[in-house]
A = this chain, B = another copy of it.
Amino acid sequence: METKQELQQAELNELVLPELKNFKTTPTLVAEALRNGILKGVIRSGQTLRQEELAATFGVSRIPVREAFRQLEAEGLIKIYPHRGAVVSSLSAFEVQELFEIRVPLETTALRLAIPNMTVLDLQKAARILDLADREEASGRWGELNWDFHASLYAPAARPRLLAMLVNLEQNVDRYMRLVLTGLDYQQHSQAEHRELLAACRDKDIEKAVALLTGHIEAAGQKLTAYLRQSEEPKPV
C-alpha cells in the first residue's frame, strides 16, 4: 500500500518538476527573443545591445534584460564589456575552426550512442526531414532543416546534456554558416552526404557512419573557415 503511494509520488514529482521549469519568466523570454534575433541575423555580429533600448522595445525594465544578457553570455552568443555594453560576439576564422574541432568528437560520440537505439520510426523521421530539405533549397529554412536532420540522428542517444551542448555549438556557428549555405552546389553535395550517412545508420554500420559524419562536419568547417579567412584578409590600411 504505502510503497505504491510512494511510487506514485515519485512519478508525479518527476512529471511536475520539468513542468515547473516551463513556467517561463521574463528574463527567459527576453533571452529567447534576443537569441532568435541573433540566430536569424536580425541582430548582426558586433552590434552593441543597449539595455534601455531593448527594455523599451520589449516593454520591460532593464533588470530582466540584464539577466538575459548573463545567460546569453554564458552561451557564448554575446560578450559583456563592463561599463561599455554587450556586443554580439563575432568569431574569427580560428575560433570557428575550434568550434568545428569540438563538434567532430562530440557529434560522433552522440551518433555512436544513438545508432544502436535507432528505431525504424527514427530513421523514417530523418528521411522525411531530408525530403523536406530538398524542397526548401531556395529558402532560408534549409539551414534549419540541415540541423534538424543532424539532431534527429542524435536524439535516439538519449543524452540530454550532450545534445544541449551540440545545440549550443551549432547556434554559435549557425550565423556564419548561413553565408556558405547560400551556395546551391553545397546544399546538393551536403544532401547527398546526408543520404549516405542515413544509409549507414540504417545498416547499423557505426564505423562507416562515424567516418561519414566526421568528413561531413570537417568539410563544412573547412568551407566556412576558408570563407572567413578570405573575408578577414583585407586588412585595414
Chain A residues packing against B (C-beta within 8 Å): 6, 20-21, 23-25, 27, 63, 66-68, 70-71, 73-76, 79, 81-84, 95, 98-99, 101-102, 104-106, 108-109, 113, 159-162, 165, 235
Give bound CA distance, A82 to B230, whole Å: 46
Question: In the bound complex, do residue A82 and residue B159 qualify as a contact, i.e. CB atoms below 8 Å apart?
Answer: no
Q: Which residues of B contact A165 (CB under 8 A)?
A: 102, 165
A-B contact list, 14 entries, CB within 8 Å:
A6-B235, A20-B81, A21-B81, A24-B82, A27-B70, A67-B67, A70-B71, A74-B74, A102-B106, A102-B109, A102-B159, A104-B109, A105-B108, A105-B109
Among A68, A79, A82, the most chain B Cβ lie within 10 Å of the Cβ of A82
Question: In the bound complex, do residue B113 and residue A101 qualify as a contact, i.e. CB atoms below 8 Å apart?
Answer: yes
Known contacts A106-B106, A109-B105; A74 and B70 CB within 8 A of each other: yes
Q: Which residues of B contact A25 (CB under 8 A)?
A: 82
Give bound CA distance, A111 to B66, whole Å: 37
**Which residue of the partner chain, among B24, B67, B79, B109, contacts A101 with CB atoms under 8 Å?**
B109
**Which residue of the partner chain, among B21, B27, B159, contacts A98 with CB atoms under 8 Å?**
B159
Give bound CA distance, A75 to B105, whole Å: 21
Q: Which residues of B contact A235 (CB under 8 A)?
A: 6
Q: Which residues of B contact A98 (CB under 8 A)?
A: 159-162
Question: How many whole Å from A92's CB to the nearest CB in chain B?
Answer: 11
